Amino acid sequence: DIQMTQSPSSLSASVGDRVTITCRASQRISRYLNWYQQKPGKAPKLLIFAASSLQSGVPSSFSGSGSGTDFTLTISSLQPEDLATYYCQQSYSTPYTFGQGTKLEIK
């Protein structure tokens, strides 16, 4: 199985900050990498697919990059509503696997 490792596991940032979350795959997965946002008590929501494609309706403050084994999710200007846990997920091969999550708190 492909292991996905996110860092950091948690972070605290201020409104307006630029935030970066990284995700590393245990083997090369090309661009088969997706990012999700999960707010407390809610279902996850797709943010980015295929490493860098922004899902329709997602603010342009979110962006993704990377290929191979190393990927990043960037929030260019943090907003209060971005409080959530963020997950990466590989779709290179089944079993599809998620990172352990990054809990983002607002200072």
Partner 1 sequence: EVQLVESGGGLVQPGGSLRLSCAASGFTFNSYWMHWVRQAPGKGLVWVSRIHGEDSRTAYADSVKGRFTISRDNAKNTLYLQMNSLRAEDTAVYYCASDPDYGGFSFFEYWGQGALVTVSS
Residues that bind partner 1 in the complex, under the rule CB under 8 A: 31-32, 34, 36, 38, 43-46, 49-50, 55, 87, 89, 91, 94-101
Nearest CB to partner 1, comparing residues 24 and 45: 45
Whole-angstrom CA distances from 31 to 35, 69, 71, 82 are 12, 9, 9, 24
Provide the minimum distance between the beta carbon of 74 and partner 1 in the complex, in angstroms, as a whole number: 18
Q: Which is nearer to partner 1, 29 or 78 (CB)?
A: 29
Query: Please, which residue, 68 or 101, has the CB nearer to partner 1?
Result: 101
Quote the least distance from Cβ 102 to partner 1, whole Å. Answer: 10
Q: Is 81 helix (H, G, I), strand (E, B) or coil?
A: helix
The DSSP 8-state label assigned to residue 60 in this structure reads T
User: Which of 70, 84, 57, 66 minimizes the C-alpha distance to 27?
Assistant: 70
